[in-house]
């Protein structure tokens, strides 16, 4: 009788588990893990005491995934992609079994490497793959070798470049294979960028269908993972439209590759459920491709829906310190807060590729606002505030550049590219060879944080400093002018350009040295350096040392 009862109970339990069309188990070191969130992108369930879960899913997102608990990492078949997700291959009316295996890991201290806008494309003109192999990968490996604790990477999107997918025979899967072959260090989590969509797909349900290659390589569009004291949320805030019959002409591109920076209703509903289960004492970190906030220079939102940004801000109000938001997309450094969204602290990070590898191949790599290209990292330690820093490929930590406009003006005066630029855009592009710029000095401070203050002194005399959006001369010479004199494929010159956090002052002479002092919001001196003048301007070469 006892055996019959046990068999009956086992049958009832098995029937309960199979009520959904996605079933499985979560274990670590052979033992079940209870209370682990499992989701299909809409429903979130928790594993039971035996580590089992069951979801009745519509399978629209074609993935099932877990929110990895703190102190664990999902096992990886290739050493790069943590196995927190699995693809769904069967129709919704058929059952699938998906188990997840976790490994214990000490996350009391860990390092994050942020990758943004790699734009790998196999373009022989820009030699992006060669420069990635020779400059970026050795840099990343070195940082991983010297990092504290386990190393994780968050890829903030535009890993490849859609317009080259078919022309150069290099899509998302080729980019993945490249970094696998090169031995990319540590586990990588990824968000979707606008250039990570398949540009050949148009018509009904384009956003979901065009993301097929991204899902196949990197998993779901919206998911979360706990690492140490932090709850990390990755969101696809690019809604791909790709209107057919418009846009740039390229092999395999059937639309204009257009998009909106929004979340779907399904993602917003999932986000509410996900954050509702997070402790208010946790630090929340949100990764997106497009910034939620537009940046300090515009003091608005980066997404196309202020309603969605306001709702995310409201969801983060219950967490101590709100949420740090990490994004790429704009190809420049712009760290900002916004009084209208006090719970969101935006870190818009420069492109790992500089400016999509468009700096001339024998020049240093520069970013979208003229900064020296490099990679942001974060050190996270239990009970401590994270430490974020930018390390440039050439100089290590570097956060500003000083310009002597007298010398910059000489370069502008003799440049054929500037002459063509002025002929094409006379009303909008700045000509720094004009006499009105004589004796001006500029500081492009791309390490700006809310509340920072820039001061300049000439022989002890404080100069009047103004924050402007004047364009960066290095950016002009390394990116804008080549597109006029020797255009890159699928690029065209622009009529206007601006630089966030450009600080300007007028000196009294052409030869007196200028001292730059930068203070944090708390009054702490963050940077101080004295620059001799005249100071040479040669963007094709590394900067002279003082």
Distance CA 323, CA 320 (A): 8
Whether the predicted model's global pTM rises above the 0.85 cut = yes
What is the SS3 assignment for 214? helix
Q: What pLDDT shows up at residue 546?
A: 57
Q: What pLDDT shows up at residue 298?
A: 53
Q: Which of 326, 377, 511, 495 is nearest to 425 (CA)?
A: 495
Q: What pLDDT shows up at residue 296?
A: 63
What is the SS3 assignment for 375? strand
Q: What pLDDT shows up at residue 409?
A: 98
Residues 6+ apart with CB under 8 A from 140: 113, 184, 185, 375
Distance CA 420, CA 483 (A): 11
Distance CA 40, CA 30 (A): 24
Q: What pLDDT shows up at residue 13?
A: 37
Q: Which of 379, 324, 371 is nearest to 352 (CA)?
A: 371
Distance CA 85, CA 100 (A): 8
| Neighbour-count burial of 421, counting CB atoms closer than 10 A to its CB (0-12 exposed, 13-18 middle, 19+ buried) | buried
Q: What is the pLDDT along the chain (546 residues), one digit of tens a residue?
A: 334 433 433 333 344 445 799 999 999 999 999 999 999 999 999 999 999 999 999 999 999 999 999 999 999 999 999 999 999 999 999 999 999 999 999 999 999 999 999 999 999 999 999 999 999 999 999 999 999 999 999 999 999 999 999 999 999 999 999 999 999 999 999 999 999 999 999 999 999 999 999 999 999 999 999 999 999 999 999 999 999 987 778 999 999 999 999 999 999 999 999 999 999 999 999 999 999 997 765 545 688 889 999 999 999 999 989 999 999 999 999 999 999 999 999 999 999 999 999 999 999 999 999 999 999 999 999 999 999 999 999 999 999 999 999 999 999 999 999 999 999 999 999 999 999 999 999 999 999 999 999 999 999 999 999 999 999 999 999 999 998 887 788 888 888 888 989 999 999 999 999 999 999 999 999 999 999 999 999 999 988 765
Cβ atoms of 289 and 329 closer than 8 Å: yes
Task: Count the helix, strand and coil residues of the chain and give each as a percent rounded to the nearest 5.
Answer: 20, 25, 50
Question: Per-domain residue ranges for the chain?
Answer: 1-60, 111-397, 400-531
Q: What pLDDT shows up at residue 177?
A: 98
> DSSP assignment of 5-25, as one string?
HHHHHHHHHHHHHTTSSEEEE
Which tokens sit at 237? 């805030």
Which helix (H) or strand (E) element contains residue 4? helix 2-17
Q: What is the CATH number of domain 111-397?
A: 3.60.21.10
Q: What pLDDT shows up at residue 307?
A: 94
Cβ atoms of 341 and 360 closer than 8 Å: no
Residue 544 is given by DSSP the state: P
Output the CA torsion 43→46→48→54 (10° steps).
Answer: 20
């Amino acid at each position: 009788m006892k055996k019959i009862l046990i068999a009956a109970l086992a049958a009832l339990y098995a029937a309960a588990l199979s009520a959904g069309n996605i079933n499985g188990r979560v274990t670590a070191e052979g033992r079940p893990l209870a209370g682990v969130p499992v989701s299909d992108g809409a429903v979130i369930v928790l594993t039971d005491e035996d580590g089992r879960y069951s979801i009745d899913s519509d399978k629209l997102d074609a993935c099932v995934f877990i929110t990895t608990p703190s102190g664990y990492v999902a096992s990886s078949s290739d050493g790069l992609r943590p196995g927190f997700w699995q693809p769904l291959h069967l129709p919704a009316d058929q059952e699938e079994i998906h188990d997840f295996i976790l490994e214990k890991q000490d996350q009391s201290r860990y390092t994050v490497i942020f990758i943004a806008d790699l734009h790998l494309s196999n373009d022989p003109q820009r030699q992006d793959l060669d420069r990635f192999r020779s400059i970026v990968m050795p840099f990343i490996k070195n940082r991983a070798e010297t990092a504290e604790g386990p190393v994780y990477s968050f890829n903030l999107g535009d890993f490849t470049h859609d317009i080259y997918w078919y022309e150069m025979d290099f899509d998302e899967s080729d980019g993945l294979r490249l970094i696998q072959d090169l031995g990319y260090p540590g586990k990588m989590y990824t968000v979707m960028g606008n250039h990570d969509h398949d540009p050949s797909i148009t018509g009904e349900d384009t956003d979901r269908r065009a993301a097929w290659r991204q899902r196949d390589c990197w998993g779901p569009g919206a998911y979360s993972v706990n690492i140490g004291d932090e709850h990390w949320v990755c969101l696809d805030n690019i809604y791909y439209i790709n209107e057919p019959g418009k846009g740039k002409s390229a092999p395999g591109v059937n639309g204009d590759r257009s998009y909106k920076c929004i979340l779907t209703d399904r993602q917003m509903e999932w986000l509410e459920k996900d954050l509702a289960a997070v402790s208010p004492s946790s630090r929340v970190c949100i990764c997106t491709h497009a910034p939620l906030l537009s940046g300090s220079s515009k003091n608005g939102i980066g997404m196309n829906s202020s309603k969605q940004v306001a709702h995310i801000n409201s969801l983060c109000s219950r967490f101590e310190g709100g949420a740090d938001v990490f994004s790429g997309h704009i190809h420049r450094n712009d760290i900002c807060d916004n009084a209208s969204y006090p719970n969101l602290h935006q870190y818009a990070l420069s492109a790992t590729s500089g400016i999509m590898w468009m700096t001339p191949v024998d020049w240093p790599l520069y970013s979208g606002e003229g900064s020296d290209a490099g990679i942001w990292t974060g050190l996270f330690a239990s009970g401590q505030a994270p430490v974020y820093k930018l390390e440039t490929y050439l100089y290590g930590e570097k956060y500003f550049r000083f310009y002597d406009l007298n010398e910059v003006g000489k370069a502008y005066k003799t440049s054929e590219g500037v002459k063509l630029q002025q002929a094409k855009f006379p009303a909008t592009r700045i000509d720094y060879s004009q006499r009105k710029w004589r004796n001006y000095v500029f500081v492009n401070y791309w390490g700006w944080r809310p509340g920072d203050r820039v001061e300049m002194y000439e022989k002890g005399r404080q100069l009047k400093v103004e924050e402007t959006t004047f364009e960066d001369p290095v950016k002009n010479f390394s990116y804008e002018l080549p597109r006029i004199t020797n255009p890159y494929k699928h690029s065209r010159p622009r009529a206007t350009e601006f630089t966030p956090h450009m600080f300007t002052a007028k000196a009294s002479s052409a030869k007196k040295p200028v001292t730059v002092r930068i203070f944090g919001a708390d009054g702490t001196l963050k940077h101080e350096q004295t620059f001799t003048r005249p100071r040479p301007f040669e963007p094709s070469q590394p900067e002279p040392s003082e």
